[in-house]
Amino acid sequence: MRIVTRAINYLLSHSETAPSSPTVTFFKSAERALHEDVDVFRCFFSHLGDIHSVHRVFPLLPMDGYKKGLLQNSENILTRYTLREGRLHPDHETSLGHGTDPRVVSDGTVAYIFKLMRRDGDTERAFYRVRKLPGETVFDVHGAPGLPLGKNWQPFLKDGRLFAIYGFAPLTVLEVHETGEVEIVHQSQTQLDIAPPHEAFTLFRGGTNGILEDDGCLYGFGHSTVRNFRHDTFMWRMTPDYFLDVRICNATVSLNDAGYGITDPTSLFTHEGASYLGLAMSERDWYYEQKFADLLLRLPGVSLATLFTRLEPPLPNVELPASDPHVRSIVPATCVTPVGIKGSKGSVCNHGRTGCLLQTLSIPTFHNGQPIEQLKLYFTCDNVGDGADFTVTVSDVGGTALLTHPVHERGKNAYSLKMSHLADGQKTSLKIRVDCREVELLLDNIRVFYSCAQAPNLS
């Protein structure tokens, strides 16, 4: 039976009837503008009978705002929860100091928290600070001999010893000692050395910690960086003799449909006989005004081994609480651009050429019954001639222009176009076109808002 939750920030009480598909047990979503603090990337884990999480808080900066040394502006927070009347309540928070995306592994009694950081004033060398719970044991890890430190380590425990999968191509497994020493215990070639268009290393990257099952295999979830603005989820298995297998399927299509182009798995744990998977989600890469979310799923009531080998996708049709407005980002570089040049980070720029920058971008008029409310363009525009501007045209599927708006704003800006009056029930989709005239136009992002209520003024 599917249980769809309508509230935010709660955990379903344990049920003797195992669900046949994932159920939402925790969901927190928030809209954040540039320079506002974002709290996201919760790594959940079970420790000494309670559920905990470690997440990060950081200011949302534009792409050109990230400079060497700013890692210190990101803080890690440890939270302990209590379960009362089927709801998960935070009852204690502790700052763990500087750190970015955390990773945690726990066997229920002992937990290790990995946080990537730098020492104050050191803008070059990163390291992992590892905190052991319970107690106050803290040690620093500077990487394995002959390897860069990297990121997205996936820790796991075996026979009371601490290990981590360093990477998938090649498959590299490390043992991490509490002295800070790291040794490579296995390294072998895989067929996962597939690079995305924007980077020179594999798109298959780490995600959750690993969990050992009764079959002796280690299971976990990772993310595939298809592009910097799109991360998909996959499940992996490593056998006792280090054979690696991955399961790629339509795991998070329903989350993409909810407006989340990035779905990064963060944590995997068991609590009171059930398995849980945590994901950190956002509309796209973290340089833009957008919504962020943390999601905790209770997985189907089968072993991870069964979940990996059965025919159905591991994460089919996850249903999130309804949101109003519903918002999604459209990356300009995924659109047709006759005169534009596509940037590696998803932008398009005309470089002073006159003509069509975006052609026939099709947008549904409704999303799950919510009518389109407005379109918002994020851009940087500079003059190259007198009376220069660019024009946004909205047409129906037959090509008849419904709206034509010249835009005269200059510099780094955002332009909102009200469209609620076009959602008349007769049009299934609208076409968007952007034309440039004597301007240097860089289009960074496009956001579409759907709302049954009167949307706030987002201009």
Band of residue 458 on the pLDDT scale cut at 50, 70, 90: very low
Percent of the chain residues topping a pLDDT of 90: 67
Contact assessment for residue 323 and residue 29, using Cβ atoms and an 8 Å cutoff? yes
H-run or E-run covering 435: strand 429-437
Domains of the chain and any CATH numbers: 19-309 (2.115.10.20), 327-450 (2.60.120.260)
User: Is 60 exceeded by the pLDDT of residue 352?
Assistant: yes
Which position has the higher pLDDT, 66 or 428?
428
User: Is 80 exceeded by the pLDDT of residue 124?
Assistant: no
Contact assessment for residue 348 and residue 408, using Cβ atoms and an 8 Å cutoff? no
**CA 437, 439, 445, 451: dihedral to nearest 10 degrees?**
-50
Band of residue 119 on the pLDDT scale cut at 50, 70, 90: low
**3-class SS letters over 3-43:** CCCCCCCCCCCCCCCCCCCCEEEEEEEEEECCCCEEEEEEE
Least confident segment among 6-20, 96-110, 327-341, 382-396: 6-20
Compute the radius of gyration of the chain from its Cα atoms.
Answer: 23
User: Is 70 exceeded by the pLDDT of residue 8?
Assistant: no
User: Is 50 exceeded by the pLDDT of residue 344?
Assistant: yes
User: Is 50 exceeded by the pLDDT of residue 301?
Assistant: yes
Peptide bond connecting 325 to the previous residue in cis, omega within 30 degrees of 0: yes
Question: What pLDDT score does 410 carry?
Answer: 86
Least confident segment among 180-189, 424-433, 437-446: 424-433
User: Is 60 exceeded by the pLDDT of residue 9?
Assistant: no
User: Is 70 exceeded by the pLDDT of residue 29?
Assistant: yes
Question: What pLDDT score does 83 carry?
Answer: 74
What are the CA-CA distances from residue 442 to residues 271, 286, 408, 436 (Å)? 49, 18, 14, 11
Of 280, 346, 300, 275, nearest in space to 19 by CA: 300
Question: What pLDDT score does 13 carry?
Answer: 35
Give strand pairing partners of 128.
116, 141
What are the CA-CA distances from residue 181 to residues 135, 139, 177, 329 (Å)? 20, 10, 5, 43
Residue 175 makes CB contacts below 8 A (sequence gap 6+) with 161, 162, 163, 182, 183, 185
Which position has the higher pLDDT, 252 or 146?
146
Average of pLDDT values for 349-365?
A: 93
Average of pLDDT values for 423-450?
A: 92
pLDDT in tens, 49-67: 999 999 999 999 998 877 6
- DSSP label at residue 452: S
Mean pLDDT, the chain, whole residue set: 88
User: Is 80 exceeded by the pLDDT of residue 252?
Assistant: no
How long a stretch of residues is the chain? 459
Least confident segment among 335-344, 368-377, 419-428: 419-428
User: Is 60 exceeded by the pLDDT of residue 136?
Assistant: yes
Peptide bond connecting 134 to the previous residue in cis, omega within 30 degrees of 0: yes
Question: What pLDDT score does 10 carry?
Answer: 33
User: Is 60 exceeded by the pLDDT of residue 455?
Assistant: no
User: Is 60 exceeded by the pLDDT of residue 1?
Assistant: no
Question: What pLDDT score does 456 carry?
Answer: 41
Contact assessment for residue 213 and residue 240, using Cβ atoms and an 8 Å cutoff? no
Peptide bond connecting 170 to the previous residue in cis, omega within 30 degrees of 0: yes
pLDDT in tens, 162-182: 999 999 999 999 999 999 999
